A and B are shown apart, each in its own frame.
Chain A
Amino acid sequence: MKPGTYHLLGVTIIFLLILTGMEAVTAAPYWVKPGVYIEYIAERYDPYIQYLNGKGYVSNISKATSVIFYEYNGTVFRILTLNDTKIRFRVLEISNNWATIGVRIELNNVSILTLVKKNTTPPRLWDVGTSEVIIEPPHDQSIPEDMVWYKIFTKRAVITGVYKLQLNDSAVFDLNGKFYGHTGLWYQATEEWDPSLPFIVEPGNVSYYIRKTGSWKRSFWTPYGTFGPPVGVLTLESEGGTIGVSIGGIFKMFERTVSPNSTSTVPVDPNSDIIIGHSPTDFTFPDLQAIGVIFGLFNDQRGAYLNQVKRDYSTWSGLLLYGTNAEFQGVQEVPFSKAQTPLRYTFWVSFVLLGSIVAARGWGKIK
């Protein structure tokens, strides 16, 4: 072969190697880049509060946009938010096969409850200037006498954290390397997520696994915009169990029994693969668990009002996509359940091309 041929062959091989490498890394959507953020929201909506008042409900839990159980520095908090709950995920860095994601949870008009040792202060995650603190002795035999209830009422609380996302399979890990499940930011129909791996693991070891993908032949409204039709739908299924949250094994704060074969749905934009809504109550995505949110329940009250009062199912009451600076391509008609990746075709076309070049050169030499 002539030197030029070696050069051409070398360039082609490098091109192939890059493509093979990209195949591993680009399991994440193309729009996942440093600086990209995705925001979800559960908004307060006054007509829903009026509807609850009309039913005679007085519990703050009924009127919350979120109830979050959060562990920070060994202290477990129950955080109840009466105005908007907003969560932002930002891609801070991408290095090899890993993305570092920053999370910021903004909670407005908040009631915080925890149990701490007497004469100690729980770690502060609330605005100091605007908060009211009530300290009460416990009235339960199960709680040691040297503990006290700490109740904080504040206009605003912010939770921040950082976790790692493995790009080739979208697996979520905390900074200590603990595995939590699949990201709740996107899902690609072409992914090869091991179905025996839990998609989500809730406290109490209740796991959800991928059951199937499909689509809704209708649109889905979010504050960011309306998606579909069709809307991609990922169905998860649980083996059942009991989800439980307690403070240091002393006091149970939350419990739910999950029946075997319970299913849950995740709506996805089939064009960009971004997850456009999180289940209202079923589970907490690993992206929140990895920063200390043990469990969270969300209630977008506009969605709740439309679903429960107006019987309008154009949206729902879970977390909804609120904003993103990701640049989506204007792709049309992408079948959600069909496994295909243009990159894979590019790989094979290049492979055939390389074979043709080598064969042509070889044939030329024989002649």
Chain B
Amino acid sequence: MPGRGTNIPPGRRVNNEKAGCRVVWSAGSGGRARGSNAVGSHLGAPETRWGDGWAYAEVGVKYDPTHPYTRYEITYRYGDGGLTDKGKERGYHAEVNKYWDSNGITVETVVKNSGDFVMEKVYASAGWPYI
């Protein structure tokens, strides 16, 4: 089972301007494989239109390679978000909401101005496909 973010240290921003997400794969035998490819409908790397906020989500999964969709265990769910440099320059503030569910995690970064109006929302989701 890999530690979180073998190539992405926890808490580090992966991409300053875009939302991102990643599933870290792990074979049940202890061998490792990783990928940033999309799985099912959970993944994607959405562009942020104004680039004021960022979001990142990641799950770690230990699974039986012969039955990956029925015999697996989610070992961790990780997510983070915040303002990009552009968002900071504009004087915005950000709320980072993390939603855990049965198969993964979604991170929602809400970028607001001083009047509490939402300027932008950025999402990142990561999860294991469910049947």
Residues of chain A having any CB pair with chain B under 8 Å: 55-59, 61-62, 67, 78, 113, 136, 138-141, 149, 151, 216, 251-259, 262-265, 279-282, 297, 304, 307-308, 313, 316-317
What are some 26 contacts across the A-B interface (CB < 8 A)? Answer: A55-B46, A55-B48, A55-B49, A56-B47, A57-B46, A61-B99, A61-B125, A78-B99, A136-B102, A138-B102, A139-B73, A140-B74, A141-B75, A253-B99, A254-B98, A255-B97, A256-B98, A258-B95, A265-B115, A280-B116, A280-B118, A281-B95, A282-B116, A308-B121, A316-B118, A317-B117
User: Which of B4-12, B24-32, B103-111 is the contact stretch?
Assistant: B103-111
In whole Å, how far is A190's beta carbon from the nearest beta carbon of chain B?
24
Given contacts A151-B102, A262-B93, contact A55 B41 (CB under 8 A): no
Contact yes or no, B102 A282, CB < 8 A:
no
Of A67, A251, A258, A307, which is within 8 A of B100 by CB? A251
Q: Once bound together, how far apart are the Cα atoms of A297 and B128, in whole Å?
A: 25
A102 to B45, CA, bound (A): 44
Using Cβ atoms and an 8 Å threshold, which residues of chain B touch A313?
A: 115, 117
- B42 in contact (CB, < 8 A): yes
Residue of B nearest to A258 (CB): B95
Q: How far is the CA of A141 from the CA of B41 in the complex (A)?
A: 24
Q: Does B96 contact A (CB under 8 A)?
A: yes
Is there contact, CB below 8 Å, between A58 and B41?
Answer: yes
- Any A CB within 8 A of the CB of B44: yes
In this complex, the member of B49, B102, B103, B119 whose beta carbon has the largest number of chain A beta carbons within 10 angstroms is B102
Q: Are B73 and A141 in touch, CB under 8 angstroms?
A: yes
B6 CB, min distance to chain A CBs, angstroms: 20
Give the distance to chain A from B23, nearest Cβ to Cβ, in Å: 13
Please name 20 further chain A to chain B contacts, defined as beta carbons within 8 Å, in addition to the given A67-B99, A258-B95, A317-B118, sorted by A numbering. Answer: A58-B42, A58-B125, A61-B99, A61-B123, A62-B123, A141-B75, A255-B98, A255-B100, A256-B98, A265-B115, A281-B95, A281-B110, A281-B118, A282-B116, A297-B97, A304-B118, A307-B118, A313-B115, A316-B117, A316-B118
Let me know if A57 and B123 touch, CB within 8 A: yes
- Closest Cβ of chain B to A132, distance in Å, is 15
B74 to chain A, nearest CB (A): 5
Asked if residues A59 and B125 are in contact (CB atoms below 8 Å), the reply is: yes
Q: Which residues of chain B from 76 to 131 have any CB-CB distance to chain A below 8 Å in the complex?
A: 93, 95-103, 106, 108, 110, 115-121, 123, 125, 128, 130
Of B41, B42, B46, B119, the residue contacting A307 (CB under 8 A) is: B119
Alpha-carbon distance between A145 and B130 when the two chains are bound, in angstroms: 18
How far, in angstroms, from A251 to B103 measured CA to CA in the complex? 12
Most buried by A among B106, B116, B125: B116
- CB distance A308 to B115 under 8 Å? no
Given contacts A55-B47, A62-B108, A308-B121, whether A264 and B99 have CB atoms under 8 Å apart is no
Q: Is the CB of A139 within 8 A of B72?
A: yes
Q: CA A303 – CA B110 in complex, angstroms?
A: 14
Most chain B C-beta atoms within 10 Å of own C-beta, residue among A67, A139, A308: A139
Note all chain B residues with C-beta closer than 8 A to A251.
Answer: 100
How far in angstroms is the closest Cβ of chain A from B71?
Answer: 9
- In the bound complex, what is the Cα–Cα distance between A221 and B28 (angstroms)? 56
Cα separation A216 to B115 with both chains bound (whole Å): 9
Kindly state the separation between the CA atoms of A326 and B75 in the bound complex, as whole angstroms. 53
Q: Are B108 and A61 in contact (CB under 8 A)?
A: yes
Closest to A252 in B: B100
Known A254-B98, A308-B118; contact A140-B73, beta-carbon cutoff 8 A: yes
Q: How far is the CB of B131 from chain A (nearest CB, A)?
A: 8
Q: For the complex, what is the distance from the CA of A141 to the CA of B74, rounded to whole Å? A: 8
* Separation of A183 and B98 alpha carbons in the complex (Å): 27
Closest to A114 in B: B102
**Are A56 and B99 interface neighbours, CB within 8 A?**
no
Query: How near does chain A come to B123, taking the closest CB pair, in angstroms?
Result: 5
Q: Determine the chain A residues whose CB is within 8 A of the CB of B130 once the complex forms.
A: 136
Docked complex Cα distance between A157 and B110 (Å): 27
CA distance A253 to B106 in the complex (A): 10
Give complex CA distance A258, B95 in Å: 8
Q: State the CA gap A140–B123 with chains docked (Å).
A: 24
Which 6 residue pairs spanning A and B have beta carbons closest together?
A: A56-B46, A265-B116, A149-B102, A59-B125, A255-B98, A62-B123
Residues of chain B within 8 A (CB-CB) of A57 are 44, 46, 123
**Are A56 and B44 closer than 8 Å at their CB atoms?**
yes
In angstroms, how far is the closest chain A Cβ from the Cβ of B16? 17
Query: Quick one: which of A140, A251, A264 has the most chain B CB within 10 A?
Result: A140
